[in-house]
Structure 1
Amino acid sequence: MGNPTLAKLKHVVALGGGHGLGRAMSALSSLGSGLTGIVTTTDNGGSTGRIRLTQGGIAWGDTRTCLNQLVPERSIAAAMFEYRFSGRGELAGHNLGNLMLTALDDLSVRPLEAINLIRSLLKVEAQLIPMSEQPVDLQAEAAGGEIIYGEVAVDNLRELPIGLGLCPTVTATPEALEAISAADLILLGPGSFLTSLMPLLLLPDLTQALRQSRAPLIYIDNLGRELSVAAANLRLRQKLDLMERAIGGQQRIDGLILGPDSDAADARQRLAIQQPLAALDIPHHHDRVLLRDALEKLVSLVG
């Protein structure tokens, strides 16, 4: 491919969860249906956690957050989807979008159908696929040997766990594997390292797809310090080692998008674009235009 550009790519796949994945996808929203997000589904906190506790099913919070950032125009449907109940009753704190996805999941054959119905309602062109359509939780083995269950508990660890896993063992959504197989470019991050990015890399069939893919894999590093103490203390080289160990391929990550505070010396001869990326309103969020510009530069190098 001579002089590759983002616009020339037929299929870009982004992996992650929550605000980070939504930010990356919204920066590339002009790709329309050529953009696919594979979303982490291990959240067990807040409104999502309460719904899972009482209704079961997969975690919807990260998918809802991504959809909110991909809505092309403000509408009554979009306002409803973002609405959060106040007060002190049973609905207090619940997000209507989570409840809508839960209801549509009950009415549908599979969770992916529920997401597609909401995409149609909100006029979101980019595709969103849950990493698995089976309910699953994150678990960790703490430094002292204790087994910690749930994303919230893992985020509260003070030290890096000696092991991470999924409970129970689940399979990746078939469409997620197909998207990776067809990808021209794969993005990973930004996002909470232990609870948004690593859960995806704990699915053996998904990591196998990443190993077999010939598409360049780009990691987008966070701009701010993570709230998780264990994750916040990780150096860039440690993150790369942990991700590539989980994927199972030596130096599978081809390129890096780094903010000014990242240690580029940890790139270890990978191609890297390092430049200011912070949004003016929330400095630890990536500015969409700056992020797209950085990705454009890196694609021209790794393609």
Structure 2
Amino acid sequence: MQLDKLNIVAIGGGHGLGRVLSTLSFMGDKLTGIVTTTDNGGSTGKLRKRSSTIAWGDLRNCLTELVDDNSIGSQLFNYRFDGNDELGGHNLGNLILYGLGQVQSRPLDSIKLVRRILRVRTQVLPMSETPTDLMAFYAEGLCRVGELSVDEMPIMPSSLMLAPLVKSISPCIDAINKADLIILGPGSFLTSIIPPLLIRDISNAIDNRKGHCVFIDNLVPENSPAAKLSIDEKLSWIEENIGCLPIDSVICQDAKVKSAKVRVICNDLAHNKVPHHHDQKKLIKTLEACLANTAQNTPTTAPIKAS
């Protein structure tokens, strides 16, 4: 099954979602990215401390992944100031989006304007237009607030929530409802993949999906407590925390991975020169194999290797 004939939604944050969008950029307006907006580190964190705003960094990264690396637009939006003054560490693209956010009526208007500037056809959406933070609960009712703190936890939290609770936006829900394929990951399990699922209207839309939902596992262990979890442990954690398991298949690198819960598609996915990055051609081929095996009603108990 060819991907360019489908409507695809990719959900996540950080560099993982950006690379997926870059891989599928040939799909143009048939592709939608829904971006996690809870980051509180780096340039984004400084801007969020200055005033109440969504996290712009992952949105900026996803937008620039959809344009030519050598273009003026890409160089402009990815430029980072050095030094120890007020601008030091800030990314120019983040500052532009933040500034637009202060003068536009809503964040979505700012993103649409930047898409026109960069000539990005793919829809890139924030998971919510309302600022919110990630909160993790663990032993004896203790909690941590903020993405940076969550990723530094030595143990898996028993649960996560958004504070405050927020709603998504209608374009996100519309895109999920129309999607033939929904992609979660790769990326940090707790801080990139889970936050959008904590928004009830997003998790409900995925649970009631018409299309196939696939989880792309990381190629190498991430630097968080989730690194110690097996695939089924991750799936069980999702099910316990959002009340459903909105995933049909898992794509992974390790042929030894098995699941009692979903179909597993195993393939060599690593880029030859950057082993922690998914190779674009291999990933496209594996996604197509995933959908082809779904159409053939392949049993869920045995791993499938893409040819």
Unmatched tracts of structure 1, length 5 or more? none
Q: 2:230 corresponds to which letter in structure 1?
A: R
Q: Provide the residue aligned with 2:287 in structure 1.
A: 295
What is the alpha-carbon distance in structure 1 between the residues aligned to residue 273 and residue 182 of structure 2? 28
**Are 2:106 and 1:110 aligned?**
yes
Where do residues 107-256 of structure 1 align in structure 2 (5 Å cutoff)? 107-228=103-224, 230-249=225-244, 251-256=245-250
1:282 Cα deviation from its structure 2 partner: 2.2
1:262-290, Cα deviation, whole Å (9 max, x unpaired): 6422x226333211111233211111111
Q: 1:205 corresponds to which letter in structure 2?
A: D
Out of 49, 56, 70, which is 1:53 matched to? 49
Instruction: Tell me the secondary structure at the aligned position of residue 139 of structure 2.
Output: coil
1:13-49, Cα deviation, whole Å (9 max, x unpaired): 0100011111111111111100000000000011100
TM-score by length of 1: 0.93
Q: Provide the residue aligned with 1:257 in structure 2.
A: 251
What is the alpha-carbon distance in structure 1 between the residues aligned to residue 229 and residue 169 of structure 2? 30
1:229-276, Cα deviation, whole Å (9 max, x unpaired): x11111111111122344433x5311121113x6422x2263332111
**Are 2:259 and 1:270 aligned?**
no
**Are 2:75 and 1:79 aligned?**
yes
Q: 1:6 corresponds to which letter in structure 2?
A: L
Answer yes or no: is the 8 Å Cα contact 1:19–1:191 preserved in 2. Answer: yes
Q: Provide the residue aligned with 2:300 in structure 1.
A: none
Q: Provide the residue aligned with 1:7 in structure 2.
A: 4
Instruction: Tell me the secondary structure at the aligned position of residue 187 of structure 1.
Output: strand
What is the alpha-carbon distance in structure 1 between the residues aligned to residue 228 and residue 69 of structure 2? 39
1:66 Cα deviation from its structure 2 partner: 1.2
The answer to which of 139-148 and 180-189 deviates more is: 139-148
Answer yes or no: is the 8 Å Cα contact 2:203–2:246 preserved in 1. Answer: no
The answer to which of 270-279 and 207-216 deviates more is: 270-279
Instruction: Tell me the secondary structure at the aligned position of residue 141 of structure 2.
Output: coil
1:98 Cα deviation from its structure 2 partner: 0.5
Q: 1:264 corresponds to which letter in structure 2?
A: V
Q: 1:128 corresponds to which letter in structure 2?
A: V
1:46-78, Cα deviation, whole Å (9 max, x unpaired): 110000000321001111111221114632222
1:163–1:88 Cα change, 3 Å: same
What is the alpha-carbon distance in structure 2 between the residues aligned to residue 93 and residue 259 of structure 1? 35
Answer yes or no: is the 8 Å Cα contact 2:22–2:65 preserved in 1. Answer: yes
1:292 Cα deviation from its structure 2 partner: 0.9
1:293–1:91 Cα change, 3 Å: same
What is the alpha-carbon distance in structure 2 between the residues aligned to residue 263 and residue 45 of structure 1? 35
Instruction: Tell me the secondary structure at the aligned position of residue 264 of structure 1.
Output: coil
TM-score by length of 2: 0.92
Q: Provide the residue aligned with 2:274 in structure 1.
A: 282
What is the alpha-carbon distance in structure 1 between the residues aligned to residue 242 and residue 122 of structure 2? 25
Answer yes or no: is the 8 Å Cα contact 1:15–1:189 preserved in 2. Answer: yes
Q: Provide the residue aligned with 2:304 in structure 1.
A: none
Q: 2:237 corresponds to which letter in structure 1?
A: L
